[in-house]
Amino acid sequence: MIHQNRRQELLSQFDDNCVLIISTNPEQFRNGDVSFPFRPHSDFFYLTGFQEPEAVAVISKDSYCMFLRPKDPAREIWDGARVGLLEAPSVLNLDHAFDINQLEVELTQLIPAGHSVYFDAKPCELDSKLTKLLAQYNPTSLQMPLHEMRLIKEESEILTMQKAADISCAAHTLAMTQVSPNKFEYELQSVFDAHFAKNNTQHAYTPIVAGGKNGCILHYIDNNQVLKSGDLVLIDAGCELDYYASDITRTFPVSGQFSEPQKQIYQIVLDAQLAAIDSIKPGANIHKPHKIASDIIQQGLEALGLLSPKDCLSKFYMHGTGHWLGMDVHDVGKYQDNQQHRVFEKGMVTTVEPGIYIRKDAKIDPVYHNIGIRIEDDVLVTNEGNTVLTKNLIKTINDIETLMSQTNL
């Protein structure tokens, strides 16, 4: 029912003479005849709930049809059961189901004369075929209305995202209790691998486990170096549950105690993050958290003598403070209206993730070299202000050191 309601809501934004066409991902080969685990395209699953590859949904005011793979007993022995054409109408609440192999023959027959077509092509063979078939209709992009729908989360989506956040928070807590000098980064990653699998989830994105100077590489994913005593380790990892993502970063000392310079930088980032989160509420400009975080970081680094008022903050803080979160870890939804930053609305979920990254530099006091710190939480906009979905994960210096002192003896 939830997918039917979404289709009806989307259709309500167009006139009666419209046809919406959307496809899912094909299988992707890893090597030889080995495929990556299949994940449906987020837009397609959002509207259909169908989880098989090679499918095209055709949605109008009068009908809901789908092209999908037919039953194939020989392939199903190897790959598992398919819904098939006979069962699809009842299972998926379709009016008609068609063989995906008949797409070129049947598709245009489902588009009444004079109807407008809405379609977005992805870079894959199936959508290349659809682009050719639909060229005569001069299709209009479906992205804006669909992605704006996805940006405002329903109650069921929020519940799923909260569960994903809770699972990820527990994994980060475990990592803090299991880190020790001379372990490898990949050993710490294995904590997340195991905990996510145990909870029937998967990584929402390639995890970052970055010790020491690697924490100053924003998208470090090698995760293969030794964790050294006295260094920090930055972990950016979150699970995906039922196609909804969490996205969390914590930074903590490998040996359990922050050095004084590490404490100084960490507290600046934490202060910036807390203030940025506090600014999130309905009607607030979505750029405000970044402005607040940037100002606090600038002031903090100036107070330590690491920046002058004339220096550019991007030397130490070179990314935004947040992004939309949902079915995709960098979720859909526009950030501007008429070239102006939009405002927060109830049901949006954003990350808040300020950071400071101090690479080795002859102009900088060596005690600050290779300190990379990011703190990231997932924040839901509510009527009253906001709720931090990841609030169960500790992040103050005292809480981190206390936990680590109790477990890393």
The catalytic residues are: 33, 219, 236, 247, 319, 323, 330, 353, 357, 374, 376
- Looking at the DSSP assignment, which residues form a beta bridge with residue 112? none
Q: Whole-angstrom Cα distance, residue 24 to residue 218?
A: 31
Euclidean distance between CA atoms 248 and 60, whole angstroms: 39
> Strands 248-253, 232-237: parallel, antiparallel or unpaired by DSSP?
antiparallel
The Cα-based distances of 236 to 48, 154, 189, 340, 401 in angstroms read: 31, 26, 10, 30, 19
Cα(358)–Cα(129) distance, integer angstroms: 49
Q: What is the largest CA-CA distance in the chain?
A: 74
Which of 83, 138, 131 lies closest to 103, judged by CA?
Answer: 131
Which pairs from 223-226 meet CB under 8 Å and 24+ separation? 223/185, 223/186, 223/189, 224/184, 224/185, 224/186, 225/184, 225/185, 226/182, 226/183, 226/184, 226/185
